[in-house]
């Protein structure tokens, strides 16, 4: 555990440095700073993969059942997405915002949670279903985060253009049409994943014969979150709302998802405390 904590501390420090280099590049164009930031992200990813290997050895399997591991996998997913975006044009601000989200999750994970075993003995019949539920939920969370980043950038660019505030930073952003398109695609990818994740969770409850859990606060609030994103997709397809309105819709939906994640502490289904 000491070795694992040391690796995560080193990754956290390098992640912060990468974030600073990207922030510097976004303030004033600095190709060298961007390259350093990307290089540090690569090292962070390698350290995180090392941590995954250590956790795998400790658990005797893929570590996914604790909130600690959920947040870690989310941060790791954000690093991978950021590295893929680093090979595209005008991606600096996208990577910066993604890194803020990933670093925040990583930092929260490091100071708030512990890599303690999660009690799953009472769910022995559906471990596989729960693993699928968690993996799909994590992928959905990453996709919806990316969609929210594009939506925030859209709102920023929209306000700058509306106020005729044109500068070099604005020129480095993708167009409104591109940001709107990418935000929609990301939400379109994340929403079905969230739906299937919920379906798998519901199926595990039914298999275990724990139907009262379908009335759990976490289950109900997640259904509301899913409804928000389904409404977003329907409104987007209808074309009856402007890009700015839909961007605000996407940000509001993500804010609800974050609030929903915090409800884990009161959820009988998840038992985040491990009790």
Tell me: do 108 and 169 sit in the same domain: no
Confidence band, pLDDT 50/70/90 cuts, at residue 274 = very low
pLDDT for res 82: 94
Tell me: do 93 and 146 sit in the same domain: no
Tell me: do 33 and 133 sit in the same domain: no
Give the integer Cα–Cα distance in Å for 168 and 29: 9
Q: Is residue 180's pLDDT more than 80?
A: yes
Range of the domain at 77: 1-118
Domain harbouring 62, CATH code: 1.20.120
**Mean pLDDT in residue range 57-63:** 70
Contact 185/234 with Cβ under 8 angstroms? no
**Mean pLDDT in residue range 121-145:** 76
DSSP assignment of 16-59 equals: HHHHHHHHHHHHS--HHHHHHHHHHHHHHHHHHHHHHHHHHHHH
Tell me: do 146 and 114 sit in the same domain: no
Tell me: do 78 and 96 sit in the same domain: yes
**Strand, coil or helix: what is 174?**
coil
């Amino acid at each position: 555990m000491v070795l694992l904590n040391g690796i995560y501390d080193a990754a956290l420090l390098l992640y912060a440095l990468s974030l600073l280099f990207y922030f510097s590049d976004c303030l004033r164009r600095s190709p060298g700073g961007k390259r350093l930031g990307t290089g540090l992200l690569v090292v962070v990813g390698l350290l995180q993969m090392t941590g995954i290997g250590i956790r795998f050895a400790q658990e005797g399997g893929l570590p996914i059942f604790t909130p600690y591991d959920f947040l870690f996998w989310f941060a790791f997913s954000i690093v991978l997405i950021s590295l893929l975006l680093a090979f595209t044009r005008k991606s600096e601000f996208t990577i910066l915002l993604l890194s803020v989200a990933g670093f925040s999750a990583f930092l929260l994970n490091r100071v708030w949670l512990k890599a303690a075993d999660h009690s799953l003995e009472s769910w022995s019949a559906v471990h596989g279903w729960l693993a699928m539920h968690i993996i799909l939920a994590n992928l959905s969370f990453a996709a919806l985060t990316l969609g929210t980043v594009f939506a925030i950038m859209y709102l920023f660019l929209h306000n700058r253009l509306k106020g005729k505030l044109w500068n070099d930073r604005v020129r480095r952003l993708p167009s409104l049409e591109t940001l709107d398109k990418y935000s929609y695609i990301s939400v379109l990818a994340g929403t079905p994943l969230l739906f299937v994740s919920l379906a798998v969770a519901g199926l595990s409850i039914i298999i275990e014969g724990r139907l009262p859990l379908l009335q759990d606060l976490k289950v109900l609030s997640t259904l509301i979150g899913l409804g928000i994103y389904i409404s977003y997709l329907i409104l987007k397809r209808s074309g009856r709302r402007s890009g700015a309105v839909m961007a605000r819709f996407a940000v509001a939906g993500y804010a609800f998802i974050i609030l929903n994640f915090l409800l884990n502490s009161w959820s009988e289904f998840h038992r985040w405390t491990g009790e």
